[in-house]
Amino acid sequence: MIPERLVRLRARTVLSVVAIVISVAVVLQLVWLAREVIAWILISLFFALALNPSVEFLMRRGIARRGYAVAITYVGALLLIAAIGALFIPTLIDEIDGFREALPGYVEDVTEGRGPLGRLAERYDLVERVRTAVEGGDAARLLGLSGAAVAVAKGILTAIVAIVTIAFMTFFMLLEGPAWMERFYSLVPDDSRLRAERIARNIYRTIGGYVTGNLLISVIAGAASTLVLLIMDVRYAVALGLLVAILDLVPLAGATLAAIIVTAVAFLTSVPAGIVVLIFFIVYQQIENHLIQPVVYSRTVQLSPLAILVTVLIGAKLAGILGALAAIPTAGTIQVVLLEWLEMRRLRSATEPEPKPL
């Protein structure tokens, strides 16, 4: 008969476990509440890493003070954004005016059942549904007017605050990044400082490679979309291609949103154009997700294509867009730390004397 064993737990141990569980829950809750600010920080870090090579290039070319190099790079980036806006915004305004003038014709086509939109509305009886809803007094609910003005105003205000905040955080990350790293190195013991600096350089190279790869993939997406739109004679093809490139920077949701917007515009041009553009986005997104992204990231982040694909899927499942955005840099960072730890163990085992035989 197996004797019974009595396990006693001290009150201090139980309280420590409870405190750890509560602390983890509180931290997770704070992260969830601050998810919007965390997203701004990640976006700022993305821009800072994208601009930092230019800052370092200017410093190697004779600009001794980092503040001057940061200012030149920052102003240059703003001028580039302004030039892109000056190139495309007037075209977009003209096209929006044209769409506004053509909108009554689209409504008449839908009402009378003419054209592709009219046939689509007739097939699904959209006009009768709208008329029934309006006669029943549900127009406000149908059109989403309840609280729409407040939601739009809140969205615009949040967007303005986000843009200003991201702009300032990016500037200060560029300006104070090396100083923060020096403060971190000062906390490391002297005998481990070289190793810490090597790990930090490798992590920076990994994350910078991810940023460069993401920008390259976005340029490919925008160029391919523009080419297809030009072939199908869709209006404002270049502006839509730019929109695809910008939205493609956001993992998962960005490419899907761009596909929906551009396909809708293509269908307004003609049904064949809409079908071709829809097929293009379906095929291209599969190629980008399973071929272009793994290949580009494997060259810049030094991860295998399979590891990148699995990492993105896990990150998206755990934290949505933020998880997908941070998955590859996180995996690259873990790889750098793990390889450094394995190398340190190998060197330590090589220097230790072999045990003498008895």
pLDDT at 227: 92
Where residue 141 falls among pLDDT bands split at 50, 70, 90? low
Q: What DSSP character marks residue 248?
A: T
Contact predicate 344/195, CB 8 Å: yes
Average of per-residue pLDDT across 303-315: 74
- 182-240 per-position pLDDT tens digit: 888 888 888 888 888 888 888 888 877 777 788 888 889 999 998 999 899 887 787 78
pLDDT at 201: 83
Sketch the domain layout of the chain as residue ranges. Answer: 34-124+153-187, 193-348
pLDDT at 280: 93
| pLDDT at residue 249 tops 50 | yes
pLDDT at 178: 84
Residues 6+ apart with CB under 8 A from 250: 257, 321, 325
pLDDT at 224: 92
Tokens of 295: 């290949």
| pLDDT at residue 279 tops 90 | yes
Average pLDDT taken over every residue of the chain: 77
pLDDT at 142: 47
What is the CB neighbour count within 10 angstroms for residue 309? 16
Average of per-residue pLDDT across 260-289: 88
Find the radius of gyration of the CA atoms of the chain.
28
For 162-187, give the DSSP string. HHHHHHHHHHHHHHHHHHHHHHHHHT
| pLDDT at residue 255 tops 90 | no
Average of per-residue pLDDT across 34-53: 80
pLDDT at 228: 92
Contact predicate 173/48, CB 8 Å: yes
Average of per-residue pLDDT across 249-258: 75
Of 142 and 284, which is predicted with more confidence?
284
Of 154 and 160, which is predicted with more confidence?
160
CA-based nearest residue to 210, from 71, 312, 126: 312
pLDDT at 278: 92
Average of per-residue pLDDT across 42-50: 80
Residue type at position 129:
R
Q: Where are the alpha helices (DSSP H) in the chain?
A: 11-33, 35-60, 66-112, 115-123, 126-135, 139-143, 148-186, 190-231, 237-247, 253-269, 271-287, 293-300, 305-351
Where residue 106 falls among pLDDT bands split at 50, 70, 90? low
